[in-house]
Amino acid sequence: MNPYLDIHPEVAEALKQGKPVVALESTIISHGMPYPQNVQTALEVEEVVRSAGAVPATIAILKGRLKAGLTREEIESLGQKGQAVTKTSRRDLAILIAKGMDGATTVATTMMIAHMAGIRVFATGGIGGVHRGAETTMDISADLQELAQTDVAVVCAGAKAILDLKLTLEYLETHGVPVLGYGTEELPAFYTRTSGLSVDYRVDSPEELAKIMQVRRDLALSGGILITNPIPKAWSMDPEVINAAIHRAIGEAESQGITGKAVTPFLLARVKELTGGDSLESNIVLVKNNARLAAEVAAALCQ
Ligand code: PSU
Ligand code: MN
């Protein structure tokens, strides 16, 4: 057994019995949304996973312990602390354990801990990727490297256009990560259903996704897959409004000299401010939509 990992008893029991489990990340709680909507959303997302017949495992690091599955109180506490909790990517993991610190897990570290726990499906909102201007800043999220090496299926609503989506797809192609569109040929761009870019393949059912995962496992292929699930139509935002906000936020980040791990939280927070409450509502809807699909895929995998 992994001496640093605590699997919540309900999650451990489900895994033991071969029942579906869905991993959920915690940076979206601490750095992705404001309090108290972050806590409310995290709890509702767990409920969506349950209603779809799977057990939720929200992942974080608490006092240096890797946690697969949090209590209500633990989610509440992470949400209240917000950005005071360390945003934890691959490079931070061992240090937080050694120092006994708390950490909110990004897509990268949620994948790592899910994999350690034996959880194969993970739902989030948007992933990190290649930032605009990365050809000079070299700002490429560690999430992409993790998808290249860790065998977990990540369900997301595509990636926010704060990223260079075209370069993000190129990077994933180079590293052998399939990008699948759920019911679509087009890569969704988080707040919008369209990006003008194509996914590698369209898939139309959880069973088909489970089959792909099974074949990859049979072939012992390393790395994960990216399942992109477009935001429901009624909540898709006006591309002009969102793109204007993104342009402005990126300009501000540059002029304020924001770098490193602070870039993504800064852009997310500014885009939210610049679009008013609309973007937050859309964000909440799409995360739940992804949680439902992830639970269905996890259930199909257990058949
Ligand atoms: N993109 C979003 N929402 C998020 C994130 C990214 O639309 O909440 C968070 C995720 O936790 C993701 C992390 O793993 O930001 C990526 O940060 P960075 O770009 O610093 O790797
Ligand atoms: Mn970065």
Nearest ligand, measured from the Cα of 87? 1
11, 59 Cβ separation under 8 angstroms = no
User: Would you call 25 a catalytic residue per the annotation?
Assistant: yes
- 243 by Cβ neighbours in 10 Å (0-12 / 13-18 / 19+) ranks as middle
22, 298 Cβ separation under 8 angstroms = yes
Q: Which atom of ligand 1 is nearest to the CA of 131?
A: 19
Pairing mode of beta strands 103-105, 86-88: parallel
Q: For residue 302, which of 46, 19, 49, 3 has the smallest C-alpha distance?
A: 19
Instruction: Tell me which of 78, 107, 259, 282 to substitute to probe ligand 1's pocket, judged by most ligand atoms within 8 Å of the beta carbon.
Output: 107
DSSP 176: T
Query: Which residue's structure tokens are 């019995």?
Result: 17
Residues whose CB is less than 8 angstroms from the CB of residue 84 and which lie 6 or more positions away in sequence, other chains included: none
Residues with CB under 6 Å of ligand 1 are 25, 27-28, 32, 89, 106-107, 125-128, 141-143, 160, 190, 261, 264, 268
* Radius of gyration of the chain, Cα coordinates, nearest whole angstrom: 18
Question: What are the CA-CA distances from residue 270 to residues 40, 248, 264, 282 (Å)?
Answer: 21, 9, 10, 16
Catalytic residue among 160, 261, 272, 288: 160
CA separation for the pair 79, 85 (Å, rounded): 9
Query: Which residue's structure tokens are 């029991």?
Result: 13
Structurally, the chain folds into a number of domains equal to: 1
Q: Domain range for residue 213?
A: 5-302
Can you count the helices (H) and strands (E) in the chain?
A: 13, 11
The pLDDT value recorded for residue 174 is 98
Strands (E), 54-152: 55-62, 65-68, 86-88, 103-105, 121-123
CA separation for the pair 294, 122 (Å, rounded): 7
Phi-psi category of residue 42: left, alpha or beta, with phi > 0 → left and psi -120 to 50 → alpha: alpha
Angle at 236 between CA 141 and CA 51, to 5 degrees: 80
pLDDT in tens, 41-93: 999 999 999 999 999 999 999 999 999 999 999 999 999 999 999 999 999 99
Compute the distance from residue 29 Cα to the ligand 1 centre, in Å: 11
User: Would you call 170 a catalytic residue per the annotation?
Assistant: no
Query: Using CA atoms in the order 229, 240, 200, 234, what is the torsion angle rounded to 10 degrees?
Result: 30
Compute the distance from residue 82 Cα to the ligand 1 centre, in Å: 14
Q: What is the pTM for the complete model shown?
A: 0.98
Residue 141: give its domain's CATH number. Answer: 3.40.1790.10
The pLDDT value recorded for residue 227 is 98
Output the residue whose Cα is nearest ligand 1's atom 20.
261
Q: For residue 300, which of 227, 219, 220 has the smallest C-alpha distance?
A: 227
Question: Which residues of the chain fall short of a pLDDT of 70?
Answer: none
pLDDT in tens, 159-186: 998 999 999 999 999 999 999 999 999 9
Compute the distance from residue 126 Cα to the ligand 1 centre, in Å: 7
Quote the mean pLDDT of the chain: 97
The pLDDT value recorded for residue 63 is 98
